[in-house]
Structure 1
């Protein structure tokens, strides 16, 4: 897992097997530095890291990724935008499914297969 900080969380809502975070993708996030100077874009690895951290914390998993499945980056995530991160949980398969979107606009999605048992960890929203 990369060392990163989470963006500003504007709002949070959850149901039994899903959680939604509204995120503020501010232009001053360090992830935009050098990626790319003329046209800053939030790196896909950062988007993946946030989905893993928030999803694992909310559903009580230690961060221990086995594999990534059907990972797709559909549109560029630009500075000064707001997006929804939706993470769904499949406890039987120990998988998290995530999607970044803003209304009908989809930015990225995928599935995260986890190793190990569902261990309680601190949840920070």
Structure 2
């Protein structure tokens, strides 16, 4: 995991009835924000998708890879200065081939930032 414990820390992680929920705290001083953008930090979309993968990997205690991204809609800016905490809520269904069908969203106190669905292995 390339971002865990430097870019973000996990504050809570639960899994019940195929629903994985996680609350994270984002480090607004991380070097990612030096170029994206100085004095106005915006979390890049690719980083948000990496967070999904890493949260899944943490829960399942193994390396997870994105196989197919069916949808991704970035609905609001994820700015860690304004909202340093974010919450993932994902429905995770294991397929016959052991892959994971995942759909969910990333949100902050200000609203939904990302909606996504895909297949992970």
Q: TM-score, normalised by structure 1?
A: 0.76
* Equivalent residues, number: 113
Indicate whether 1:52 and 2:53 are aligned: yes
1:1-125 matches, within 5 Å, as 4-6=2-4, 7-59=8-60, 62-80=63-81, 81=83, 82-92=85-95, 94-103=100-109, 105-115=111-121
| Residues 1:14 and 1:43: Cα distance change in structure 2 (over 3 Å) | same
Q: TM-score, normalised by structure 2?
A: 0.79
- List structure 1 runs of 4+ shifted beyond 3 angstroms: 59-62
Contact 2:43 2:78 in 1 (8 A): yes
- Give ranges in structure 2 of 5+ residues lacking alignment: none
What is the aligned-residue RMSD (CA, Å)?
A: 2.2
Shift of 1:12: 2.2
- 1:47 is displaced (CA, Å) by 0.8
Cα displacement (A) at 1:105: 0.8
Contact 1:64 1:114 in 2 (8 A): yes
Q: Bigger CA drift: 41-50 or 53-62? A: 53-62
1:59 CA drift (Å) = 3.9
